[in-house]
Amino acid sequence: MSLRLGDIAPDFKAESTLGHISFHEWIGDSWALFFSHPADFTPVCTTELGKTALLNGEFTKRGVKAIAISVDSLESHNKWVPDIEEVNSVNMNFPIIADPEKTVALLYDMIHPNASEKATVRSVFIIGPDKKIKLTLTYPASTGRNFTEILRVIDSLQLTANYQVATPADWVHGEDVIIIPAVSDVDAVAKFPKGFTSVKPYLRKTPQPNL
């Protein structure tokens, strides 16, 4: 059965381009962005891994560690890394897991046989410091992911984790957020000192609390 939001992300041990990884230990107290790509030496994947390396400072700022995986070997990953660095003018500053036996790919249901029997699809898992899955996304091989959207979701998830707020459609960092219905108006006065506006009794907006 596929993994669902709130499930504990399965732990595993694997080799990566930055050494042996024991997944939960590697995550530690951070958040994790764990994502699969179909294959090394492919065009879309080359741009995606480069983009992640370029954005790694943004992930680090948010306490997020990025880690990629495909069913290629460590030898293949290590041969491909210089291409990613050259094409995207970056240093590969996060690990790529080698999973030639498909052990981790199967554990995370990253192989969708009706799309491809051999390769992983573009799965995304955002995992919290509690090791629980906070977000899943699945893209086809032909569509490169929007890593700016992934950062946006992380911002939203971390606001929810730290304050009792949710984020509206198309929200971006800096815009007003929504007070979750579980907070009463009386409690909201104390919790949200910047004030709030009731558009409807169930839709109350407040300035982003961590700014």
**By the rule CB under 6 A, 111 interacts with ligand BEZ:** no
Annotated catalytic sites, by residue? 45
> What's CA 94's distance to the chain center, in Å?
13
**By the rule CB under 6 A, 138 interacts with ligand BEZ:** no
Identify which of residues 114 and 142 has a Cβ nearer to ligand BEZ in the complex.
Answer: 142
**By the rule CB under 6 A, 105 interacts with ligand BEZ:** no
**By the rule CB under 6 A, 9 interacts with ligand BEZ:** no
Please tell me the total number of residues recorded for the chain in this structure: 211
**By the rule CB under 6 A, 160 interacts with ligand BEZ:** no
Q: Which of residues 34-73 bind ligand BEZ (CB under 6 A)?
A: 38-39, 42-45
Q: Which of residues 139-158 bind ligand BEZ (CB under 6 A)?
A: 141-142
What is the number of H-type helices and E-type strands within the chain?
A: 7, 11
- Which neighbouring-strand residues pair with 197? 205
- Listed in sequence order, the residues at least 6 apart from 97 whose beta carbon sits closer than 8 Å to its beta carbon are 14, 15, 16, 21, 67, 68, 69, 70, 104
Q: With CB under 6 A as the rule, give the number of residues binding ligand BEZ.
A: 8
Identify which of residues 105 and 178 has a Cβ nearer to ligand BEZ in the complex.
Answer: 105
DSSP string, 22-59: EHHHHHTTSEEEEEE-S-SS-HHHHHHHHHHHHTHHHH
Interacting residue ranges for ligand BEZ, rule: CB under 6 A: 38-39, 42-45, 141-142
